[in-house]
Structure formats: C-alpha cells, structure tokens
Amino acid sequence: MEAIASKQGVERWAECTPLHLLYIPLIKKLMPDALIVHIIRDGRDVAACLHRMGWIRALPWDRSRDFLARAIFWGCLVERGRRHAQALGPDYMEVHYEDLVRNPRQTLECVGKFIEHDLDYHRIQQVALETVRTPNSSFCGDSYETAANSIGRWRRIFTPSQIRDIEASIGHLLTDTGYPPESPAAELDPSLAVRSMSVLCPLCLDARLWLKSNTPLGRIADRRIEGLASCVDQRFQ
C-alpha cells in the first residue's frame, strides 16, 4: 500500500476490509500511526445483505436459520472491534452508516477532523471513481434501490418471526450501537435454538479463523472466510 501511494503521489492510504476488526491489535502493532474508523451499520441490514448474497451459513442442522447466523456474524465483528478499540483511545472513531447516507457532508467533516484530512463532499463527488461513483451493492438492479432505501431494508427482506429471532439474539448490541429492537420486549426471550446458535456460531467463526491462520488445511478448506471479506467489503450495501 505504501508503494502504491508513493507511485500515485499521495501521502496517505486507507484499507476497508471489515474483517480487520478482528485484528486491530496486530494492525496497531505493525502500524502504530494507524487510525481506525469503524463504520457501524444496523446489524439487521447487514444480515439482509449477507442473506441476499448467500454468504455465511448456519450449521447443517440449523440451515433454516441461515439468516440468524448472518446477524450473529455481524455481532461478532462489531463486538470484538469495539472491545479492541478500548485500548486505542483517540486513534479510534465510530461512524454510523446511516449518518453517511443521510448527512454525508456533516459526517465526512467529522471524519475529516479525526484523520486530519479535508473530506469535502462536493469535491469527492466531482472526482469520484469506481464504487464511490457507482455503489457496489448486492441489491443493484432492484427498481426501488436508492441510497436512502438501503436503510431499513431488513423490513422488506425478513419475516416478523425472523426479525424477532434476530433481535432476540443480537438485541443488546443493536441497542448499544443505536439500533433498538422493534419487536415487543416480551417477545425477545430467545428460544433454545436461538440460544444455541448464539453460542455455537461465534465458536465456529473462531475455529475457522484459527485454522485459516495457523494451518495449511484451513487456508485450503475455509474459502468462505476469504470470499466473505470481498462480499462484506461492498460497504454492506
């Protein structure tokens, strides 16, 4: 990345793979000057995106609840990223995706102050390239698709019972990050199946990441994790 930046005559570069949330301590160790901008999106919308793409699968006996595995995956990344951030102090910033969509100028101004770089929205639009100009969305082609419609999309994708299961599983984190559940509180007592998935899915993710990082077998067999980075890097559109 430094070589690319040097060739292009720029002083700074950014990399935006969501799975980096799992490796913030290592990133800071290797690059002490790194600044972390954590863009958080409603986990229900993230699950809707992953549902559309068909990424992240539940264990074989829970395949009817793939949607829930995708929501739990969001929870794993966000929770661990925020936990790592506790040691970063002023080098960490949280931004809501919805604020970027609804108030891009104001939000970019705040990010610009954090990274000490001028992020002028009008100029960005004038020189936009690639996905900055044309969003790389898993919902491209839908007649109703606009940036504004990407907020709250989960209401069109999931059934009421699926929404209840999602909110029963990750409702605490949704609330902590500013996305309170919409299901009645009395209905958010998770079933045994939901409780089981909430425990097993993070363990499976940890196992896959360990195999991928520490064994040749993991690097060959666990292609889903590698593909996921590409999928999720579509700005969770």
Task: Give residue 142's pLDDT.
Answer: 55
Q: DSSP 3-state assignment of 67?
A: helix
Sign of the C-alpha dihedral computed for residues 90, 123, 104 and 145 taken in this order: negative
Task: Give residue 124's pLDDT.
Answer: 85
pTM for the model: 0.83
Q: DSSP 3-state assignment of 208?
A: helix
Instruction: Please choose, from the candidates 145, 198, 180, the residue with its C-alpha nearest in 3D space to the C-alpha of residue 43.
Output: 180
Q: DSSP 3-state assignment of 219?
A: helix
Domain map of the chain by residue range? 2-232
Torsion angle (degrees, nearest 10) of CA 164, 170, 174, 180: 30
Token pair for 231: 């999928």
Number of CB atoms found within 10 A of residue 209's CB: 16
Q: DSSP 3-state assignment of 57?
A: coil
Task: Give residue 101's pLDDT.
Answer: 92
Q: How far apart are CA 79 and CA 209, in angstroms?
A: 16
φ, ψ for residue 93, nearest 5 deg: -140, 140
Token pair for 186: 């009395």
Task: Give residue 183's pLDDT.
Answer: 94
Place of tokens 């992240």: 56
Exposed, middle or buried, 18 (CB in 10 Å: 0-12/13-18/19+)?
A: buried
Domain 2-232: give its CATH code: 3.40.50
Task: Give residue 223's pLDDT.
Answer: 53
- DSSP letters for 31-80: -TT--EEEEE--HHHHHHHHHHHT-S---GGGGGGHHHHHHHHHHHHHHH
Quick one: DSSP state of residue 56? Answer: S
Task: Give residue 135's pLDDT.
Answer: 64
Listed as ranges, residues in the chain with pLDDT below 70 are 130-148, 217-237
**Angle, vertex CA 135, rays to CA 133 and CA 140, nearest 5:** 135
Instruction: Please choose, from the candidates 25, 33, 1, the residue with its C-alpha nearest in 3D space to the C-alpha of residue 14.
Output: 1
